[in-house]
Each structure stands twice: as C-alpha cells, then as structure tokens.
Structure 1
C-alpha cells in the first residue's frame, strides 16, 4: 500500500509555516535590547548574516511558487537589512503564498522535471519529489534553524516550541501556547 502527501501541503503549507515561524521570531527580535544590530548577526565571519537567512527562506518559498505552480514572478531586490524590512519581506511572501491554490500544483507526476541550480551546477533536472524533498525543504529548514540559532546566540529567550508551534498547530496545541 502506498501513501501520498499532497504537493501543496509539502510545499506551500510547509513554506507558510516556516514563514510564520520567522515572523514570530522577528517580532521577538524587535523587542530585544540589541534589535538594531540583530539583522547583521553572523554565527561565524564567513557565514551569511541573519538578514540573509530570512531572505533565503523567503526565496525558497517564492521559488516553490515559480517552479511548481509555473508562475513567472518579479525579481525581488533581496536587500533587506533591518528587522522592519525583514518583517515586511516575510509578510509579502506570505501574501504571495495565499494566492496559490492546491490545483495550481496539479500536473506534477511521473517524470516531469524542473530545472534548478545547485551551487555551480546549472541546470540540474529534478522531479517534484526530488526538488521538494532533496533541495527546497532541506534548505528552508537549514536557514530557518540558523536564524533561530543566531537569535538564541544573542540571548533571545526561545525554545523548541518557538520553532515548532506553527508546524503542529493544525493538530496539536503546545502547552503554554
């Protein structure tokens, strides 16, 4: 017996929950005494700053819409450097995701592929499941986790529930939420 997970839930649903989590984190960051410096925070000098972690999650959500719903979207500047700008970016991305319906992702079955760039490898052809499970979702979770870790490093009181509550909210309410 095989089971399937709707492509919409795995992409638009997970992207929405990731962005809602970032929005929650950003709002907590805005209340931090060092709020003005948090966007530039890095874990290590050669790593991307907090602001870029947010932009990358937003871009993966946007690319899910472009690649899987077949939409040609405007290029966004990717130049947000303040928490306020990052909040606006996340809200803009959430608004975009609200325009996608499950039927917009119909037609993704079998050997149909999309082209992606992985580092210096361009193009790489991937089926929807290869793209979503092997590239898009792992990248979103990586950058979401780095953003969370950067804020923890700066002393924000965050816990695992802050990272998970939007993902489990449709079937479970975490204690204290």
Structure 2
C-alpha cells in the first residue's frame, strides 16, 4: 500500500508554488506596466495581485508552523512593489526549504486548528488541514495571481504555471 508523505504533499507543493511565483514575478518585473501589477485585480471586488502573493506565502509559512510546532511570524503587511513581493517569496521559500523531511514526516502532531474568515475555529487532523484547507487555498491564490498576469496581457501559459510542479519528471 502506498503512503503519501506529509512533507512531500505540503512542503514539496509549497516549494513548487513559491518557485512558480518567483518565475511569474520575474516576468512581471520586465513588463512595461510593472509598477501597476501589485495593485492589479481581476474584478473590482477581488483582492489585488499583491494579496494573492502574500496568501500563498502565508499558507507556506502555516505548513511550517502547523507541521513542525515552530513559531513562524505571519506578517500581515502586503508589499506594494514587485521587489518587495520577490523578497517576501524568497524569504518564505528559504524558510520552507530549511525544514528537514524527518521533522515533518516524523512528527507526532496529529491535529491542527483551522481559522477561516468569520467562522469559528475548528480542530481537524493534519491530513485534513493539508489536503482540504491549506492546499486548496494555496492553489486558488497561486492561480489567481497567474490569472491577473494573463489579464494584464502577459505572454504566459499553462507551462509557466506547471513547469516547477513537473520539474522532477520533465526536464524541458
């Protein structure tokens, strides 16, 4: 019977998502309208590009905090420049990469508390936290950031979104 590693599921996915954000941010920095991108949004009542980036980093930090019992600073501020967003993603990627596999896969932590909006906190298994709360949120905000760049006219496609996730088996 195959087992799914919490480290691979949470940290592996987080690393790929953060690397994808760095690639997208690099393209954004080269765009003629680079200064407008942090505040760009798909629809007026949606949160801007900078928020999408911050939430991907927040969930990546939450993996570290929840699955290792480390205290991780969750900065609620949102960088308003592309350079600030690159710095945030880079620091978060370094943090996630600093966690050794055995600290996560060997953990005795079995529960996590989910706090979502105005809903009361709820205790769930760490597997539920990762699979049904954190990963769906991470993917949602990553693809929303991607979609904002597409809306701004960026020449990016599915390969730009998936290339880091598939880098282990596609070497293109």
TM-score (norm 2): 0.95
Aligned to 1:161: 159
Task: Name the CA distance, whole Å, in 2 between partners of 1:60 and 1:140.
Answer: 6
For the Cα contact (< 8 Å) 1:68–1:128, is it kept in 2? yes
SS of 2:165 mapped into structure 1 = helix
Task: Name the CA distance, whole Å, in 1 between partners of 2:52 and 2:73.
Answer: 20
Q: CA deviation at 1:77?
A: 4.2
RMSD, aligned CA? 1.2
**Structure 2 counterparts to residues 32-111 of structure 1, below 5 A:** 32-105=31-104, 106-108=106-108
Aligned pairs, how many?
171
Task: Name the CA distance, whole Å, in 1 between partners of 2:3 and 2:85.
Answer: 34
Task: Name the CA distance, whole Å, in 1 between partners of 2:129 and 2:108.
Answer: 11
Structure 1: runs of 5+ lacking an equivalent = none
Q: 2:131 aligns with which of 130, 133, 136?
A: 133
- Runs of 4+ off more than 3 Å: none
Q: CA deviation at 1:4?
A: 1.1
For the Cα contact (< 8 Å) 1:108–1:128, is it kept in 2? no
Task: Name the CA distance, whole Å, in 1 between partners of 2:97 and 2:171.
Answer: 23
Task: Name the CA distance, whole Å, in 2 between partners of 1:77 and 1:114.
Answer: 21
Q: CA deviation at 1:62?
A: 0.2
For the Cα contact (< 8 Å) 2:59–2:138, is it kept in 1? yes
Aligned to 2:140: 142
Task: Name the CA distance, whole Å, in 2 between partners of 1:135 and 1:77.
Answer: 19
Task: Name the CA distance, whole Å, in 2 between partners of 1:101 and 1:60.
Answer: 18
Structure 2: runs of 5+ lacking an equivalent = none
Task: Name the CA distance, whole Å, in 2 between partners of 1:122 and 1:71.
Answer: 23
For the Cα contact (< 8 Å) 2:25–2:82, is it kept in 1? yes
SS of 1:18 mapped into structure 2 = helix
Describe the superposition over 1:27-56 as per-residue Cα deviations: whole angstroms up to 9, x where unpaired.
000000100101100111110000000000
Task: Name the CA distance, whole Å, in 2 between partners of 1:146 and 1:75.
Answer: 21
